[in-house]
């Protein structure tokens, strides 16, 4: 690919009026969890910005703050903070101690200050709750986040991997208590995990929320490297051999679908990663797709994806491989229903 990538198209972030790139740069792979070279990671971030990506997503838990620190250095080097829409998340435990996690006011007020410091900024454009918290009333969480918006430390708030009923509950609570509402939801979505089409995407659409989808390449399954008759690549994300045990019917079905989608991409003369990203962006309920490259090469392989248009015939062939509204692997839903755990079901 040449240094001149296709300019990134933009769209509105729900009903906020904010314009964001359709590809959102995810930063989970910068730092100890992926690319440990800070300078190289910063170069990847700056390349993404120079290519027209103005939307960047992080989380405090990514490499336990290191990812936010790297992003903060890249923001400082870029120079114009207002060019960028910076999103980050709170919820996951940052220490092996009580009260350093969750959706309580106690933790949110601490977590936001830590993220602001690591990012080197005085405001966060989109502050997201990384997972629902069964132990904390959503009214408490929204009240704390509303205070942060009023203080100017946060501009908008969002949720991540909420179930449709939880999305509705949060919207209702915000209206009932006249607090800031979640304006975005961040669920998993890919050619292999289409479950959100059944209920979540219609729900976010009804509430005029932006939807930022994570894992559009299905954790590497749609990279083009997972084809029948080939050795599965040994990567960080594929280091758990049980996840690639082809004697498991679910894994075998996943490989079958990935291979069929790879063959479809071959027929179309495009890369599978482009087909995968174009597919999720084609859905009218999707705002942006979060891509998480570790290297410059990986980033460059993704930049032109948003320009690919899929016709109805291609979409019909995709539906034959993976039916609409279904996840081949239930674990790809991203949400583990704690009410179905053994201890919750048996009293």
Active site residues: 62
Instruction: Return the number of other C-beta atoms located less than 10 Å from residue 33's C-beta.
Output: 18
Provide DSSP, 82-128: GG-EEEEEE-S-SSSSTTSSSS-HHHHHHHHHHHHHHHT-S-EEEEE
**C-alpha–C-alpha distance, residues 333 and 189, integer Å:** 8
Q: Residue 206: which of 185, 189, 188 has the closest Cα? A: 185
**C-alpha–C-alpha distance, residues 169 and 146, integer Å:** 16
Q: Residue 92: which of 151, 12, 169, 160 has the closest Cα? A: 160
**C-alpha–C-alpha distance, residues 343 and 347, integer Å:** 7
Residue 276 neighbours by CB under 8 Å, 6+ apart: 190, 191, 216, 217, 218, 222, 261, 305
**C-alpha–C-alpha distance, residues 339 and 304, integer Å:** 42
């Amino acid at each position: 690919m040449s240094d001149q990538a296709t300019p990134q198209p933009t769209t509105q972030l729900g009903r906020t009026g904010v314009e964001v790139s359709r590809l959102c740069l995810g930063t989970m792979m910068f730092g100890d969890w992926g690319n440990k070279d800070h300078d190289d990671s910063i170069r990847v971030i700056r390349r993404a910005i120079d290519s027209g990506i103005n939307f960047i997503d992080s989380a405090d838990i990514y490499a336990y703050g290191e990812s936010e620190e790297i992003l903060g250095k890249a923001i400082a080097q870029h120079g114009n903070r207002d060019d960028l829409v910076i999103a980050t998340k709170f919820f996951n435990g940052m220490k092996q101690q009580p009260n350093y996690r969750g959706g309580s006011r106690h933790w949110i007020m601490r977590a936001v200050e830590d993220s602001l410091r690591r990012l080197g900024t005085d405001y966060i454009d989109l502050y997201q709750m990384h997972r629902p918290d069964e132990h904390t009333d959503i009214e408490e969480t929204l009240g704390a986040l509303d205070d942060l918006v009023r203080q100017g430390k946060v501009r908008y708030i969002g949720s991540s991997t909420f179930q449709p009923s939880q999305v509705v509950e949060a919207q209702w609570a915000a209206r009932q208590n006249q607090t800031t509402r979640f304006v975005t939801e961040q669920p998993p979505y890919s050619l292999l995990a289409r479950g959100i089409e059944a209920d979540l995407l219609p729900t976010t659409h009804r509430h005029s929320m932006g939807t930022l989808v994570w894992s559009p390449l299905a954790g590497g399954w749609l990279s083009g490297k997972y084809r029948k008759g080939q050795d599965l690549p040994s990567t960080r994300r594929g280091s758990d051999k049980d996840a690639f045990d082809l004697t498991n019917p679910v894994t075998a079905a996943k490989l079958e679908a990935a291979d069929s989608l790879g063959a479809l991409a071959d027929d179309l003369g495009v890369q599978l990663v482009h087909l995968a990203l174009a597919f999720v962006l084609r859905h009218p309920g999707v705002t942006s797709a979060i891509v998480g490259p570790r290297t410059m090469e990986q980033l460059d392989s993704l930049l032109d994806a948003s320009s690919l248009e899929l016709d109805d015939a291609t979409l019909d062939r995709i539906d034959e491989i993976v039916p609409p509204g279904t996840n081949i692997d239930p674990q790809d839903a991203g949400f583990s229903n704690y009410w179905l755990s053994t201890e919750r079901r048996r009293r």
